[in-house]
Structure 1
Amino acid sequence: MAGSYSFDVVSEVNMQEVDNAVNQAKKEIEQRYDFKGSKTEIEVKDDEIKITSDDEYKLKSVIEILKAKFIKRGISPKALDFGKIDKAALGTVRQTAKIVKGISKEKAKAIAAEIKASKIKVQAQIMEDQLRVSGKNKDDLQETIALLKSKDFGIELQFTNYR
């Protein structure tokens, strides 16, 4: 396999940083005047964040605070996939945000199609929740990384195992 180079395209989230961002958001909510006496909660379970608040306005404010804390901790807000707003007990509203880990098959196919359409001399191979891009020339791989960084696929992409 001499003369062949590759890298992996992945979408990973550091759960410790997610936990830190949620804790910082909780502290800010406790200290803010507009949240005094409100029933606002943020809870992390597995790969989900549950947000509960008094009304939709406060819920949106909590989401903005959470996104700001994510950005400060170096996590892309694209890592959150928000569900619909549900009515909860005692007149409160609830929203669940899934933490996106890995690249779904549909997104991987879209990324592979984009690479193929670019006419760069590399091959893209889908491997479970990541994508391996290989080619004979390192410059082609660099060009592919630049291409993928310039496009928005709705998820945060990282490039690992560059060999």
Structure 2
Amino acid sequence: MPSFDTISEVDKHQLTNAVDQARRVITTRFDFKGVDAQFDLDGMVVGVSAGAEFQVSQMVDILTGTLHKCNIDPGAMDLADMVTTGMTVRQSITFKNGLDKDACRKIMKAIKETKFKVKATIQDEQVRVEGKKRDDLQQIMNLLRGEDYGQPLQFKNFRD
């Protein structure tokens, strides 16, 4: 029976590449000359620090641009509030990996409302969809692409 998995994950290697590219951009930009601005990557959390709030927001925009170039959807970013400590402004950006329970329930509800003859099950942080017809599964994929679940979706393991 054909099936596919609906997941939401960020490739760690591509995230590392995006942060490295953003670091290189910061070192070459004229408006960041002489400024102690840096990106710190720790797991799936990127720390952004600079001397002023507008510089931190510019750095987040730079990171967003490099994420696009590395095929990472910026919708996976979860921005924390800016924190000022002394002469430094910091912001942490957490990247969502895996679907949370609410998103899984929303996906299940949307699939059930279509009345297609498919079966959807929640498996940890992903939703597996099974059906007899590949066309039905492809229509479900298109439906899920058109909706917003608070994080980007990918479809893996499309098999017969």
What is the CA-CA distance between 1:83 and the residue it aligns to? 1.0
Instruction: Map 1:54-93; keep pairs closer than 5 Å.
Output: 54-88=51-85, 90-93=86-89
Q: TM-score, normalised by structure 1?
A: 0.93
Q: TM-score, normalised by structure 2?
A: 0.95
SS state of the match for residue 48, structure 2?
A: strand
AA at the equivalent of 1:121: K
Q: Deviations over 1:27-78 (max 9, x none)?
A: 1101111111112110000111011111111111000000000001111111
CA distance in 2: counterparts of 1:56 and 1:42, whole angstroms = 15
What is the CA-CA distance between 1:25 and the residue it aligns to? 0.5
Q: How many residue pairs get matched?
A: 159
Residue 135 of structure 2 corresponds to residue 134 of structure 1:
no
Partner residue in 1 for 2:152: 156
CA distance in 1: counterparts of 2:115 and 2:37, whole angstroms = 51
Q: Which runs of 5+ in 1 are unaligned?
A: none
Instruction: Map 1:9-158; keep pairs closer than 5 Å.
Output: 9-88=6-85, 90-158=86-154
SS state of the match for residue 124, structure 1?
A: strand
